[in-house]
C-alpha cells in the first residue's frame, strides 16, 4: 500500500534517514519503533509531505506520492493541535470540512464517533475545559473522520487511562478490518505486541530490524525453554548433562520451574527425553522474548 525505497534525508550536517526502505501492507497495522532521535519523525513528515526526502522514492497505491494523496492520509502528531477556545463540536466540524466533507457526512460520522467514545455530552464544551485524555479523544476523531486509506499515529495512547487506551485500540482494529492501513509510532512496546501485524526498528537513522511481529519474536528466541516439573532441581540438573544449560530456576508451592538453554545440534524433544529420566514434566514451552526485550538488545547491539 505504501512503498518506501532507499529514502535519505539530510539536515545541515546531520543525516536523519539513511537508505530507509519499508513496505506498509494493506489492511495491517505497522509498528514504527526506535529510540528518540532515530529518524521516525523525519520519515513521518516526509510521508505527510511536510518535508521532502533528498533521495529515494515513496509510492502510495503504486503512484508516486503527490499532494493530492494528503486527502487519503490521516495524521495524529504527538504534539496535539486543538484550538482551546473553540467548542468541541464546532472544532470537529471545522476539521472535517477541511477534509472536503459536507455537513450531512460530517454529522453522521460525528454522531457515530461521539457515541462510540461516550462523549455525546461534550458538543458544547470548550477544549480548554477538557482533560488531556478527553482532548485526545477529540483529536483522534478529527484524524479518522474522513476514513483515510492510510492512518499515521504518533504516540496515540499518550494521556489515556487503560480503559480509554483499550477503546482506541479496539477502534484501530476495526479501522484495519474496514480497509485502513495504519502506521503506529510508539514507545509502548505492549501496544505493539497487542495490535501490530508488522514492525520496523529504526536506530541511528536506518532500519536495523523489520518483519512480521510474530516472526521477529521467533527469530530472536534463543533456544530457551521453561520446564515446570515435579522433582528436585538436583535431579533435573543431573538429567541435563552437558547438552543443556540450566539458566535459572524457581521453587513453587507444588512444583519447580527451570529455564534451560539447548546446545546446538539438540532440540526440544531431546530436552524432554533427558528431563523425563529423573523428573515428571508438568509444563513445557519455548521462552519467547518480548518486543521490549528485542528493542533494547537490538538497539544496544547497534550502538556497540
Q: Note whether 138 and 83 are within 8 A (CB).
A: no
CA dihedral for 292, 151, 195, 132, sign (positive or negative): positive
Domain 2-218 architecture: 3-Layer(aba) Sandwich (3.40)
> In this predicted model, what pLDDT tens digit does every residue of 212-230 receive, in sequence order?
999 999 888 888 999 999 9
Q: Is 158 exposed, middle or buried (0-12, 13-18, 19+ CB in 10 A)?
A: middle
Q: What's the grid cell of residue 4?
A: 518506501
Per-residue confidence (pLDDT) for residue 303, from 0 to 100 = 65
Q: Render 209-258 in DSSP notation, one character per residue.
A: EEEEHHHHHHHT--SEEEEEEES-HHHHHHHHTTTEEEEEEEE-SS-EEE
Nearest to 111 by CA among 124, 123, 99, 125: 123
Q: Does residue 38 register a pLDDT over 80?
A: yes
Distance separating alpha carbons of residues 269 and 273, to the nearest angstrom:
6
Distance separating alpha carbons of residues 173 and 178, to the nearest angstrom:
9
Q: Residue ranges per domain, the chain?
A: 2-218, 222-287
Per-residue confidence (pLDDT) for residue 13, from 0 to 100 = 84
CATH topology of domain 222-287: Alpha-Beta Plaits (3.30.70)
Sheet holding 280-286, edge to edge: 244-251, 256-262, 224-230, 280-286
Per-residue confidence (pLDDT) for residue 33, from 0 to 100 = 93
Average pLDDT, integer, range 133-159: 89
Distance separating alpha carbons of residues 146 and 94, to the nearest angstrom:
12
Q: Note whether 53 and 7 are within 8 A (CB).
A: yes
Q: What's the grid cell of residue 177?
A: 478490518
Q: What's the grid cell of residue 112?
A: 457515530
User: pLDDT band at residue 158, thresholds of 50, 70 and 90?
Assistant: confident
> In this predicted model, what pLDDT tens digit does every residue of 64-73 receive, in sequence order?
998 888 888 9
What pTM value is reported for the model? 0.84
Per-residue confidence (pLDDT) for residue 276, from 0 to 100 = 94
Q: Does residue 100 register a pLDDT over 80?
A: yes
Q: Does residue 188 register a pLDDT over 90?
A: no
Average pLDDT, integer, range 285-289: 91
Strand 280-286 and strand 224-230: the pairing is: antiparallel
Distance separating alpha carbons of residues 21 and 13, to the nearest angstrom:
22
Per-residue confidence (pLDDT) for residue 229, from 0 to 100 = 94
Q: Does residue 183 register a pLDDT over 70?
A: yes
Per-residue confidence (pLDDT) for residue 304, from 0 to 100 = 60
> In this predicted model, what pLDDT tens digit does every residue of 42-95 receive, in sequence order?
999 999 999 999 999 999 988 999 888 888 899 988 776 788 888 998 989 998
Distance separating alpha carbons of residues 87 and 253, to the nearest angstrom:
59
Average pLDDT, the chain: 90
Amino acid at each position: 500500500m505504501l512503498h518506501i525505497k532507499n529514502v535519505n534525508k539530510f539536515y545541515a550536517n546531520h543525516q536523519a534517514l539513511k537508505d530507509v526502505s519499508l513496505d506498509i501492507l494493506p489492511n495491517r497495522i505497522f509498528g514504527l519503533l526506535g529510540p528518540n532521535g532515530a529518524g521516525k519523525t523525519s520519515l513521518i513528515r516526509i510521508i505527510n509531505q511536510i518535508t521532502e526526502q533528498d533521495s529515494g522514492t515513496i509510492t502510495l497505491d503504486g503512484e508516486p506520492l503527490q499532494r493530492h494523496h494528503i486527502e487519503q492520509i490521516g495524521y495524529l502528531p504527538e504534539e496535539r493541535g486543538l484550538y482551546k477556545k473553540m467548542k468541541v463540536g464546532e472544532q470537529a466540524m471545522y476539521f472535517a470540512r477541511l477534509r472536503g466533507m459536507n455537513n450531512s457526512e460530517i454529522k453522521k460520522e460525528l454522531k457515530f464517533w461521539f457515541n462510540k467514545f461516550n462523549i455525546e455530552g461534550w458538543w458544547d464544551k470548550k477544549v480548554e475545559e477538557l482533560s488531556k485524555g478527553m482532548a485526545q479523544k477529540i483529536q483522534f476523531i478529527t484524524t479518522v473522520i474522513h476514513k483515510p486509506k492510510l492512518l499515521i499515529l504518533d504516540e496515540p495512547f499518550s494521556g489515556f487511562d487503560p480503559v480509554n487506551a483499550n477503546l482506541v485500540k479496539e477502534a484501530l482494529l476495526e479501522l484495519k478490518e474496514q480497509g485502513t492501513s495504519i502506521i503506529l509510532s510508539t514507545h509502548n512496546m505492549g501496544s505493539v505486541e497487542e495490535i501490530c501485524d508488522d514492525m520496523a526498528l529504526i536506530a541511528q537513522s536506518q532500519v536495523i530490524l523489520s518483519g512480521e511481529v510474530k516472526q521477529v519474536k521467533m527469530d530472536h528466541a534463543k533456544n530457551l525453554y521453561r520446564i515446570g516439573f515435579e522433582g528436585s532441581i538436583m535431579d533435573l540438573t543431573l538429567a541435563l548433562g552437558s547438552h543443556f544449560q540450566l539458566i535459572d530456576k524457581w521453587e513453587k508451592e507444588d512444583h519447580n520451574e527451570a529455564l534451560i538453554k539447548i546446545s546446538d545440534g539438540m532440540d526440544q524433544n531431546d530436552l524432554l527425553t533427558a528431563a523425563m529420566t529423573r523428573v515428571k514434566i508438568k509444563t513445557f514451552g519455548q521462552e519467547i522474548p518480548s518486543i521490549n526485550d528485542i528493542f533494547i538488545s537490538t538497539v544496544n547491539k547497534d550502538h556497540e
